[in-house]
């Protein structure tokens, strides 16, 4: 079996998934990078040496080879890219292909009625509805976007991003988090409006007023950095909130492993949110906004994390206070969160389910697993509670 995965660029969220394919298929697996990584991502510590990865091919250095890999493979995985024409012939060929997509109407599903937009979506998606072209939904609200345009009927599956999975020994994470009474909270991401870092400062002030023993670790940089820094100072929270700027992914994970609670405040413009995977794997009890793509797939409220609705600060504060006051529930949610990633939402399982999907397709059947990657994606509408 020859499998080709094409996307804009390789990064640490995709490498574990791709490595699983390479371990299974060796030279029959290829990843095509269509463009260099943006400078902002490089500054965030995302940069990797693509030339050092044996299965990566750069479209802008070896286009002829890359086009051949697209046309000749048995199964094509197609992520986001600027040049749709690279894969259009392959998608219409009758050979199986799987699109991977975040939301297409992230800023509002009213855009689905745009005639110009529908023409574009027809060319990119709708015209393949009767072809063996399937959709992996990288976020819980993706299926609803594509349902609006009647694309991929009965062919939409759950998916996401899969950072490195770490396996911990018995009691190891508990020891890393320590036994002190001070609760450690962590927030990680770009300091920009859609991620609402101002919630963290407001939270720090409220927790301090309530007399909790805590410390917040704020990791990241961005356009709101100076505003957040000044807000921390004006509220007298320098002793309660530490700003780190950007850290490389390994150091972010180290901080998560030492923390009890992870704060995820992104709104509906967050397609997925891979920090949620990382924090759950690190045994954090995550408090997350339901609007972000990863949250309905990964978190079951009250079991392996806490979900607040509609970007409500009051619900967010209430969830954090519950975890501050209930140590045993907090610990149990962290354990369950880690287990969710280790047993289900990880790169190895995603790759295995992909290969299983292809084997089933060859036999003329599609048998999705009951949960996790490649299970059927329910239609979850933005702003509405599921079921």
**Which residue, chain included where needed, has tokens 């009758």?**
94
The residues, any chain, with a CB within 8 Å of residue 7's CB and separated by 6 or more, are 14, 31, 32, 33, 34, 78, 79, 80, 81, 100
Indicate the fold that domain 172-343 takes in CATH: Rossmann fold (3.40.50)
Residue 234 and residue 9: Cα distance in Å, rounded? 41
Average pLDDT over residues 78-106: 95
Whole-number mean pLDDT of the chain? 95
Residue 99 and residue 91: Cα distance in Å, rounded? 9
**Which residue, chain included where needed, has tokens 């508990």?**
174
User: Taking 80 as the threshold, does the pLDDT of residue 3 lie above it?
Assistant: yes
Residue 197 and residue 17: Cα distance in Å, rounded? 30
Task: Provide the token pair at 133.
Answer: 């072209």
How confident is the model over 115-171, as pLDDT tens digits? 888 999 999 999 999 999 999 999 999 999 999 999 999 999 999 999 999 999 999
Asked, colleague to colleague, whether 3-163+344-362 and 172-343 share their fold, the answer is: yes
List the chain domain ranges: 3-163+344-362, 172-343
pTM: 0.93
Are 282 and 249 within 8 A, CB to CB? no
Task: Provide the token pair at 261.
Answer: 């609670």
Task: Provide the token pair at 8.
Answer: 């804009």
**Structure confidence at residue 385 as a pLDDT band (50, 70, 90):** very low
Q: How many residues does the chain have?
A: 387
CATH code at 3-163+344-362: 3.40.50.2000
């Amino acid at each position: 079996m020859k499998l080709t995965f094409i996307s804009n660029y390789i990064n640490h969220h995709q490498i574990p998934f791709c490595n699983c394919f390479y371990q299974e298929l060796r030279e029959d697996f290829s990843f095509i990078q269509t463009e260099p990584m943006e400078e902002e991502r490089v500054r965030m510590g995302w940069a990797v040496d693509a030339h050092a990865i044996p299965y990566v091919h750069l479209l802008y250095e070896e286009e002829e080879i890359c086009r051949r890999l697209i046309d000749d493979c048995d199964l094509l995985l197609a992520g986001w890219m600027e040049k749709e024409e690279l894969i259009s012939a392959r998608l219409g060929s009758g050979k199986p292909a799987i699109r991977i997509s975040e939301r297409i109407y992230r800023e509002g599903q009213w855009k689905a009625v745009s005639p110009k937009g529908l023409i574009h979506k027809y060319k990119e998606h709708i015209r393949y509805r009767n072809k063996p072209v399937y959709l992996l939904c990288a976020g819980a609200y993706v299926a609803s976007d594509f349902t609006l345009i009647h694309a991929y009927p009965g062919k939409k599956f759950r998916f996401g991003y899969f950072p490195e999975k770490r396996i911990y020994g018995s009691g190891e994470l508990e020891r890393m988090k320590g036994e002190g009474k001070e609760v450690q909270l962590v927030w990680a991401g770009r300091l920009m409006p859609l991620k609402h870092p101002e919630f963290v400062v407001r939270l720090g002030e409220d927790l301090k007023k309530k007399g909790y023993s805590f410390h917040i670790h704020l990791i990241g940089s961005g356009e709101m950095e100076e505003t957040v820094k000044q807000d921390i100072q004006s509220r007298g929270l320098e002793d309660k909130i530490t700003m780190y700027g950007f850290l490389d992914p390994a150091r972010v994970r180290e901080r998560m492993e030492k923390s009890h609670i992870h704060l995820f405040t992104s709104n509906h413009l967050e397609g997925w949110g891979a920090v949620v995977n990382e924090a759950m794997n690190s045994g954090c009890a995550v408090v997350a906004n339901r609007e972000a793509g990863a949250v309905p797939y990964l978190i079951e409220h009250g079991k392996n994390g806490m979900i607040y609705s509609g970007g409500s600060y009051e619900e967010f504060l209430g969830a954090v206070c519950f975890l501050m006051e209930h140590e045993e529930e907090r610990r149990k949610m962290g354990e369950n969160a880690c287990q969710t990633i280790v047993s289900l939402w990880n790169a190895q399982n995603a790759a295995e389910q992909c290969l299983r999907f292809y084997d089933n397709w060859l036999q003329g059947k599609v048998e999705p697993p009951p949960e996790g990657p490649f299970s059927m994606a329910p239609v979850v509408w933005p702003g509405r509670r599921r079921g």
